[in-house]
Amino acid sequence: MLTSSLQVFLCGLAGGAVLELLHWYNIRRDTQFPAYAKSPVYWLVTLLMAVVGGGLAWLYFGAQGEPIVTFHVGVSTPLILQKLTTTVANVPGGKGSGPSLVSFFKW
């Protein structure tokens, strides 16, 4: 049993980090290194997603939680956000161009 807010947060954060590790494991055999891997923005958003996973775990459980469930919340938070952003309607003629936060989630 996790018995502090920091433990709950770190366990959720670890879940988000493992999701990123799984992403890199899945692309390990690609012949070309992804261009986004060199982008500081990519790594910042990746770190923030893991932090959001830890934060949501803390919001759910406070200072006490089961490690596996807390970890699961950390893993599932970025996946849920990815699903939400990729299902947002694409409005033709909308403002902006180029890479966006929505395009970050389309992996």
pLDDT in tens, 14-69: 999 998 899 889 888 888 888 888 999 999 989 999 999 999 999 999 999 999 99
d(CA 70, CA 68): 5
Q: Does residue 81 form part of some domain?
A: yes
Q: Does residue 94 form part of some domain?
A: no
Contact call for residues 2 and 70 (beta carbons, < 8 A): yes
Q: Which domain holds residue 57?
A: 5-89+99-104
Can you give the pTM of this predicted structure?
A: 0.78
Q: Does residue 31 form part of some domain?
A: yes
Query: Number of structural domains, the chain?
Result: 1
